[in-house]
Amino acid sequence: MSASRLTPLAVRLLALLAERDMHAYEMYQLLIKRAEDRQVKVRPGSLYHTVERLADHGLVQPVGVDREGNRPERTRYSLTEAGAQALQTWVVEMLRAPVNEYPRFPVALDEAHHLPREKVVACLGKYTDALAAEIEEIVQGVEQVNACGVPEAYWMSWSYLLEVKRTELDWIRRQVERIKNEELEWPKSPIQNLRRS
């Protein structure tokens, strides 16, 4: 498996195994505890499938089985040399050049003119409320990791996300004002005339 084909979840799992050997459930718990599920879609089923895929491609390997009490056996995995190399290669590729992730929100913005001006203002108002709440969560997370003395190199992405989301919030608020004040020309879409069944 080439580094460019690694999913963000696969990269996170390789990075966890770079810290120490662990089983898939422990990886899942750590991702949730560290709030990394804010950046990577984490579901137990997809996590276990990803671990199996990484093992099939020789990027991780089973190194033992743990059993605690009546719980089922859990296979512990270790990062292989190929896995460490794939992790480093992926990080280098992503840090060198922007990648278009095809987000949906810009498409919605481009098609917002199909709604009445007031509806767009109301929808974007809810969006800005949700974005402000996300920003507050990130701020609290940054305060917590700072208080715990976690070096910033481990959570640089939080600083990045905070800056991006603050900029996005400011931009959307300005656009809402422009729409409200009719500074932004608002065409009437033909579909606004269609009757709803």
Residue 179 pLDDT: 94
Determine the distance from the C-alpha atom of residue 111 to the mean position of all C-alpha atoms in its chain, rounded to a whole number.
Answer: 24
| pTM, full prediction | 0.74
The reported pLDDT for the residue numbered 119 is: 93
- Please tell me the predicted confidence (pLDDT) of residue 2: 67
Mean pLDDT of 100-121: 90
pLDDT band of 197, cuts 50, 70, 90: very low
Q: Specify which of 94-98, 167-171, 192-196 reaches the highest per-range mean pLDDT.
A: 167-171
Compute the distance between CA of residue 155 and CA of residue 192 in angstroms, rounded to an integer. Answer: 46
